[in-house]
Amino acid sequence: MSEQSSVRLDGQGTAAEAVSDEVARSEEASILLDGQKVPFSEGQTIMDAAMAAGTYIPHLCHNPEFKPHGSCRVCTVTVNGRTAAACTMPAQNDQVVETSTEALQTERRRLLQMLFVEGNHVCPACEASGNCQLQAVAYYVGMLSPHYNHFYPQRPVDASHPDFFIDFNRCILCELCVRASRDMDGKDLFAISGRGINSRLVVNSPSGRLGDTDFHTGDKAAHVCPVGAILFKHQGYDKPIGERLYDRQPISEVGDARAAEQGDQSNE
C-alpha cells in the first residue's frame, strides 16, 4: 500500500503530538468524557481513564491486565471529533471524548454484526451463553440480528486436550489467549495465522492440536477468552442459563466476564 493510505494516522502533527506526550502533565490533567471531567495520569489511555472513573466503554479485545491491542475496534470513541480506539489512544489533557453517541453505537452494532457473521455463533447452543462478552456487548449496543450474510466458515473443533475444548467457530481473534500464553504463561501456545478473512487462531504444536501441548488449567490463557472459544471440559452448565452473569445485569454494570469470574472465586 502507499503511504497515502496512512494519512489519518500519519498526518501532520500526530507524531509531534505523540512526542509531546512527554510534556510533563500536572496532577490535574483531565479529559472531558461525555461532558464529565475525568482525571488521568501519565501513560494512561482513554480506556484506562474511563475504567478508573467507572464509565463503561464497550470492548472485547481489551483486558486491563494486558497491553492494549486495538483489534476489535468496538471501543471506538470520538476524540476531538475524530474516531479512535479508546484502548490504544493515549489520554491527553483537555481531550473532548464522546463514548456513546448514536453514530458510535451504530458503528459498534455493525462491528458486532461483522463478528457474528464471520464465525459461527449459535448463542442458544453455546456453553458460554450468558457469560459471553460478545453476546453481552451485542445486547448492550442493541444488536437484534446478525444482519449481514453469514460466512459459515468450516472450522473443526479441537477436543484433543483432556481438560479443554477449543471451538474455533467462536473465536473473534482478540488474541487474548495468544498474549496471555506468550506474555504471562511463558508458553507461547497460540498464534494467528492466515490473512484477511482467512485469519485464524492456531495452536503452537507440530500437530496443531491443543492435546499435544502442555496447556494447563492453571494457565492464564485458560481464563481470558471473552467468548466461548476456549472451554473447560467436565464443568458444562454448572450454572443454568438464566442465572448467569449477563442474564441478570448488563455488561455495562458487571464488567468483563473473566474479571467477574475471578471476583467470584476470590469471594468464595
Residue 93 found at the interface with another protein (CB under 8 A): no
Query: What is the Cα gyration radius of the chain?
Result: 19
Least distance (Å) from another protein to the CB of residue 198?
A: 7
Residue 10 found at the interface with another protein (CB under 8 A): yes
Residue 138 found at the interface with another protein (CB under 8 A): no
Residue 205 found at the interface with another protein (CB under 8 A): yes
The residue within the footprint of another protein, chosen from 76, 95, 129, 169 (CB under 8 A), is: 76
The residue within the footprint of another protein, chosen from 17, 42, 261, 264 (CB under 8 A), is: 17
Proportion of the chain in helix, strand, coil states, percent, rounded to 5 = 35, 15, 55
Interhelix angle 133-140/102-118, rounded to 10 degrees, is 140
Least distance (Å) from another protein to the CB of residue 153?
A: 11
Residue 71 found at the interface with another protein (CB under 8 A): yes
Within 8 A by CB and 6+ apart from 135, the residues are 121, 123, 128, 129, 227, 246
Binders of another protein among 102-121, rule CB under 8 A? 107, 110-111, 114-115, 117-118
Residue 152 found at the interface with another protein (CB under 8 A): no
Residue linked to cell 492453571: 218
Nearest-CA neighbor of 114 among 132, 131, 137, 83? 137
Residue 29 found at the interface with another protein (CB under 8 A): no
Nearest-CA neighbor of 79 among 67, 92, 96, 65? 96
Comparing CB distances to another protein, the nearer of 114 and 260 is: 114
- Footprint of another protein on this chain (CB under 8 A)? 1-12, 14-19, 21, 68-74, 76, 83, 85, 88, 90, 107, 110-111, 114-115, 117-118, 148-149, 151, 172-173, 188-199, 202-206
